[in-house]
Structure 1
Amino acid sequence: MKFNWFKKIVQDHPKFWETYLSYFDENKSKIKRYVVFDCETTGLNYKKDRILSIGAVGILNNRVEINDFIEVFIKQDIFNPETVAIHGILKEGPEKVVEVEALIRFLDFIKDATLVGHHVSFDIEMINQALNRMNLGTLKNEYMDTDIMYQKLKHFQQDQHTSLDELCDVYKIRKSDRHTASGDAYITALLFLKLKRKLEI
């Protein structure tokens, strides 16, 4: 029996992942939408730590769309009470879903939007690690970082970073619900719009 070395190997992907990938079809009409998001995590090691919650809000036509919003909390196999003081997420509390369900909701929400965050590469890597645990690919979205935007505006060196708290003080943005995923997403959305106007992009 002759073996065809060129036979295409087709890997079955879940429907939600195929739907997500379909949003990047070049033939689709593009409406410029930004999604500002933030992840609260068990720590800062993207290989070992896990996502506790994801908060995201949409921006259209330079306006934060309050009704275009998602917040999801993830069940944890291991609970570390020492981190509660930082993120405020208790073992019991808001309705929590398993990681897979959280990712399904997140991908359905962001679609092909440009993702925005403060030090966003960490949050993206946390999402990608979760996708990797599901044997899927990585996020396809373009992304923007409000810290890098501020660096460009002030002509800072690339290694000269500014915290979200510092930029809230600079631009007089009220730090409500700080260190919650939804609160940080909303604060970062306001910051993003201010920086976007100043950079004229």
Structure 2
Amino acid sequence: MFGLFKKKKKETLPEYWNAYEQLFREKTTPYIADTRFVILDTETTGLHYRSDRILSIGAITVLDNSISVSDIFEVYVKQETFNPETVKIHGLLREEKQANRISEEEAVRLFLQYAGNAVLVAHHARFDLTMLNNALKRLGLPKLKNRVLDTSTLYNRARIMSNLIDRNKNHSLDELAETLNVARNDRHTAAGDAYITALVFLKILARLKQKGTVRTRDLFSPESR
């Protein structure tokens, strides 16, 4: 009886979710150079998981140590909730880009299609992933299935061991960009921050490769492998 309920519930999920889920049955490459990474960022109405909403999603693909600049993903979401304080940061006003805004469900559908079964990468990834998973929950969908990397955590792992270094420090994206000599053009737009994060990610990968890291599984903490 319980099995029949589960089967029925799965069949009611939209086709775009089923297509996304199917991708995770495919065998993936073990090597970093052959792994597709999708670097993402969200701009939101605020920093509260429950009450705030996504205003835009930006993402870009990294494959074979290169950024696919011709394959940038960016969508703007129709939203009635606006916070004057966060508008000062991301500049997304109620009247701006209204013609190009899409529903939350359409934004999620397009993102799932773009991301596929790639490894997701974000700076302070917990926030972006929680906002995306909350959007999925509002649509009656399960959480994202992708594995996730955080550039702040990866950077700490890539640093030289020293008692003078706090390896648990939570670095801002601006701090990492400055330290790694990455330009901060188009900051505080979802696509712009995704691109900056992608450049930071490649710099971190270069450091990890010098330490002998070539397998994708080794980018994750031992408990999440």
Distance 1:69 1:110 in 2: 11
1:66 and 2:69 are equivalent in the alignment = yes
Matches within 5 A, 1:85-100: 85-94=88-97, 95-100=100-105
Aligned-residue identity in percent: 45
Aligned residues: 196
Contact kept in structure 1, 2:44 and 2:53, CA below 8 Å: yes
The corresponding residue for 1:8 is: 4
- Unpaired stretches in structure 2, ≥5 consecutive residues: 214-225
Distance 1:29 1:148 in 2: 23
- Unpaired stretches in structure 1, ≥5 consecutive residues: none
Q: Quote the RMSD (CA, aligned, Å).
A: 1.5
The alignment's TM-score, normalised by the length of structure 1, stands at 0.92
Deviation at 1:160, TM superposition (A): 1.4
Return 52-61 or 159-168, whichever deviates more: 159-168
1:153 and 2:158 are equivalent in the alignment = yes
The corresponding residue for 1:18 is: 18
1:134 and 2:139 are equivalent in the alignment = yes
Deviation at 1:79, TM superposition (A): 2.7
Structure with the larger strand share = 1
Structure with the larger helix share = 2
What is the one-letter code of the residue matched to 2:54?
I
1:105 and 2:110 are equivalent in the alignment = yes
The corresponding residue for 2:121 is: 116
The corresponding residue for 2:221 is: none
The corresponding residue for 1:165 is: 174
Deviation at 1:104, TM superposition (A): 0.4
SS across alignment from 2:69: strand
Runs of 4+ in 1 over 6 A off after TM superposition: none
Deviation at 1:177, TM superposition (A): 0.7
